[in-house]
Amino acid sequence: MPRRTCLASRLAPCLPPVAALLLVAACGGSGSGESASGATPTIASHTAPGASESATTAPSPTALAFEPEMQTYALPPGSGPHDVAPAADGGVWYTAQRSGHLGYLVPATGETRQVPLGSGSRPHGVIVGPDGAPWITDGGLNAIVRVDPATSAVDIFPLPAGRPNANLNTAAFDGRGRIWFTGQAGIYGRLDPATGEMAVFDAPRGRGPYGIASTPSGDVYFVSLAGSYLARIDLDTDEAIVIEPPTPGQGARRVWSDSRGRLWVSEWNAGQVGLYDPSTEEWREWRLPGNDPRPYSVYVDERDAVWLTDFGANAIVRFDPETEQFIAFPNPGQPGNVRQMLGREGEVWAPESATDTLVVIRY
């Protein structure tokens, strides 16, 4: 059965009195509920390099007066969920990497079903395309895969024969309806679903392309973990144009766009979250709380709050760009090893790859 926990009472001791009262009231009383892990979410403020000390202030009641609730859903044993994508009908897709399936969760009941993707499948990323279907980057099949949400029919688009073992990672659609993807072996590519035409390109600096995202205007950016860079894809020439973050060797792992088209980057090696604004070509970076933060993925919600998964703290972390404050929500699993998050209005979904569990924080 799904397990639900209101987190407001656990956050309240960390907050200023006004914010604490707002959060506790949201849960209907003084509150004694615990998170599934029994740990207390923590709040911290951090000053960005070069910023004034005045940026580090007490948490704002307005910024923190939301109603956080965590719920967990058990998946079939051996699933190994890696990435997750909420579906338009209220369900949630997830890649079952260890078993070679695409999974689907019904949150209302906790029921799941799994679609086999083929012999040797090792699905990594999943997103929902403009057509409403889940699209998968499958490293085992060395292919882009589409699953029909109504019939569960599987369409496989293999990479060209000269591009074996690309170690496919993640994908994003551009504003022209084409899907772009990355491969850690040193490639990026595109597929036109309308024609089936696929092209694969050598990435700058070889190995490392990892996360990829599109902006509201339809531009596409990817990051390289091994190459430690952000890149913009020229949609006319297919060229990847490298954009250097301020911190050398930071290990850019995942990237996501906010509503203004700014790119947020999880910097795995540096323990930071980075922000690049294409309109000004300026960067900012913030270090996550804790002794050894390891931000794996990043997702920006509809309020432009930034969510990260921190392997070092075994937590999901929310960053408020306005107040420059972090809130850490401990993972239920010990460890949870949450990979890529995605969400929809009022919800952030996260796959615990180590525990065969999906976690949602509702706010």
57 within some domain: no
Q: What is the pLDDT of residue 303?
A: 96
Distance CA 193, CA 186 (A): 23
Q: Is 330 within 8 Å of 343 (Cβ atoms)?
A: no
208 within some domain: yes
Q: What is the pLDDT of residue 67?
A: 75
Q: How many residues in total does the chain contain?
A: 363
Task: Name the nearest CA neighbour of 100 among 120, 74, 129.
Answer: 120
Provide the residue range defining the domain that includes 338: 72-362
The 10s digit of each residue's pLDDT in 38-88 is 334 444 544 333 332 222 233 333 345 567 899 999 999 999 999 999 999
Q: State yes or no: pLDDT of 231 exceeds 70.
A: yes
Q: Which token pair is 301? A: 């919600």
User: Which helix or strand (DSSP H or E) is residue 266 part of?
Assistant: strand 263-267
Q: Is 253 within 8 Å of 223 (Cβ atoms)?
A: yes
Exposed / middle / buried, residue 261 (Cβ in 10 Å: 0-12, 13-18, 19+): middle
SS3 194: coil
305 within some domain: yes
Q: Given pLDDT bands bounded at 50, 70 and 90, which one contains residue 34?
A: very low
214 within some domain: yes
The 10s digit of each residue's pLDDT in 115-171 is 999 999 999 999 999 999 999 999 999 999 999 999 999 999 999 999 999 999 999
Q: Is 59 within 8 Å of 13 (Cβ atoms)?
A: no
Distance CA 271, CA 287 (A): 6
62 within some domain: no
Distance CA 101, CA 353 (A): 14
CA angle in degrees (0–180, nearest 5) for 33-317-340: 110
Distance CA 269, CA 247 (A): 10
191 within some domain: yes
Q: Domain total for the chain?
A: 1
Measure CA of the first residue to CA of the last residue in the chain; give whole Å: 21
Percent of the chain with pLDDT over 70: 82
> Cα-Cα-Cα-Cα dihedral of 283, 286, 287, 289, to 10°?
-160
Contacts of 292 (CB under 8 A, 6+ apart): 271, 312
Helix, strand, coil percentages, rounded to 5, for the chain: 5, 45, 50
50 within some domain: no
Q: What is the pLDDT of residue 49?
A: 36
To which residue do tokens 């799941």 refer?
A: 112
228 within some domain: yes
> Cα-Cα-Cα-Cα dihedral of 140, 215, 228, 312, to 10°?
-80
Q: Read off the CATH number of the domain in which 76 is found.
A: 2.130.10.10
